[in-house]
Structures are given as structure tokens and as C-alpha cells.
Amino acid sequence: MSELEDILNSPLVVSKLDKIRGIFVRHTKAEEARQMLLLSVSFAKRLRESSSTYLIGWSRCGKSEIIKRLLQDQTGQIVSKKKIQLLTGNGKRFLYIDLIGGATPRILARQVNFQIFNDRKSLGFGEELGTGALIENLNELEVDGIILDEAQNLAEDGVKKLARFILAIENECNAPYSSWDRQRWRP
């Protein structure tokens, strides 16, 4: 290692960087967004349907951090760096999916079905059957909510596919709410 790498990896520098990473700057609407998400968690269940909550804002304004802190409050679990994870605790179950790398609804359904539910049979399914299998698995496990972080990356393959995916979950999933974190599209 070079001298610079030694300095950057020293315990003192690593400790200071960890403290910097832990800083959360509250933007003016952060508490309002958190309260709206809490209302969605508590009251969004309509007549046998899920309701979506969309958290939209500029890049780096704290949307993901608000969601992660809400999930920690609800489940007592910390959202890790894993792209797909089921957070359980305090009688709640939330599926958190980070779409920062993008995916199609078909690939997303396959990954969740396999990684979370160990559903190998759905690996060969197309978009419609895969989404249906995902909804069945979510309902069977009684998942309370689905969070798609960075959902705009899913839309790159087609807004219509994303809309059909969301609509299918809203219409058929028993989860009290689904929250989707999206960046505001810049002109």
C-alpha cells in the first residue's frame, strides 16, 4: 500500500469517516414526509387493496434515509446494504428493495421470489406470471409493506411496465401499503 492508502485506512480517519456517514441533514420537508409515510403505514388499507405512497424529491434530499429510519422504527431492524431484504420485527414485515442498479419487473419478481421466498419454480416465469407468484408469496407471508427505493431506475425499461407492476400489487396484494421512492425527473 502507498503512504496515502495507509493514512486513509488508519483507525483515526476511518472513525472520522464513519461519523461523517452517520450525519443526517434534515431538509425542511423531511418531518412532513415521515408523517405522511406513517399515515400510509397506519391507514392506507382500502377495500381489500393496497395503496401506494410516493416519496418524490430531488436527488440526495434524504428520501431513502427517511424510509430507512421509518423501517427501523417499525421493525427494530436496520436496513443493510443488501439490495433485497425482508425486515421483520415488532409484529411487522416489510420488503425493502433497492433498485439503484435498475431492473425490469420480470427480473425484480424473479429475484425477490428466489432470494426471499426460495421460490425456484418462478425463475422461469415471464413478467405476468412472475409478478403473480410474487404477490402470492407476499400475501402468504403476510408482508405489511413493500418499499421500492429508487423506483425510477425500474422505469427506464418502460414506464408502462412499471405502472402495470404497481397496479398489480395495489389490486392483488394484501399489504397495507406499498411505498415507492423516486427521484424527481429533472428537465
The mean pLDDT value of the chain amounts to: 83
pLDDT at res. 115: 96
> In terms of pLDDT, which residue wins out, 67 or 26?
67
CA 137, CA 116: separation in Å to the nearest integer? Answer: 9
CA 115, CA 155: separation in Å to the nearest integer? Answer: 22
What global pTM score does this model have?
A: 0.77
Residues, the chain: 187
3-class state of residue 180 by DSSP? strand
> In terms of pLDDT, which residue wins out, 52 or 110?
110
> In terms of pLDDT, which residue wins out, 186 or 101?
101
Residue 22 has pLDDT above 50, yes or no: yes
Positive or negative torsion for Cα 115, 75, 169, 29 = negative
User: Structural domains in the chain?
Assistant: 3-183 (3.40.50.300)
Residue-wise pLDDT for 69-88, tens only, equals 999 999 999 999 999 999 99
Cross-strand partners of 178: 52, 146
Split at pLDDT 50, 70, 90, the class of 186 is very low
Q: What DSSP line would sit under 83-147, residue for residue?
A: SEEEEEETTEEEEEEE-TT---HHHHHHHHHHHTT---GGGG--HHHHHHHHHHHHHHHT--EEE
Q: Are 37 and 53 in contact (CB under 8 A)?
A: yes
Residue-wise pLDDT for 154-177, tens only, equals 776 677 888 889 889 888 887 554
Cell numbers 407468484: residue: 133
The continuous run of DSSP H or E covering 183 comes out as strand 177-183
Average pLDDT over residues 106-114: 94
